[in-house]
Structure 1
Amino acid sequence: MVSVLKKPVFVKLPPTFDVIRLVEYSISSGAKGVTLINTARAMVIDIEDLKPIPSFVGGGLFGKCIYPIALRIIYDVYREFSYIDIIGMGG
């Protein structure tokens, strides 16, 4: 499908433990590059009780707090795939 498109395809990937494998699949399927990383899964914790707040069990971590995570993943992907286009973002 990607081969018939006139515009380059980029795959937006989450911060997972197998991101290298996801990049391999994306490139072998015809993507020109990847965007790293999407929001990281997280939950709101009550700092007094150190327990999850039930109404906020699901959610995402983004911004400055995931910057070091994003840098590490981008570094790992670049080390393996320096020939592809990589767009870095923080979620």
Structure 2
Amino acid sequence: MVETKGHGKMLLTDGLIMVTERDEFAYHDMITHVPLFVHPAAKNVLIIGGGDGGTAREVLRHIGGEKCTMVVDACRQHIPQTSKGLDHEKMYLRY
């Protein structure tokens, strides 16, 4: 995790940028809204590898059913705005 002037906090894995505060929304919007607008009635969603929380944040805007399940990682602690709202009643977090 590094702090940058232009992109805010940035998560790197093996020197590769995984997510930044500035532009995380573009990634999360595309991988959630596109499939969920196509699905007629998503009720239960499982997110594998969504440790920064942004995908779950966007999924919770769509699902009308029971729950969204996700395994969380370090980003919830270090880049909390991407995982804002994960205390939602439809959200089930696995640590």
TM-score (norm 2): 0.33
Bigger Rg, structure 1 or 2: 1
Which of the pair is proportionally richer in helix?
Answer: 1
Which structure has greater strand proportion? 2
TM-score norm. by structure 1 comes to 0.34
Q: Relative contact order (alpha carbons < 8 A, sep ≥ 6): 1 or 2 greater?
A: 1
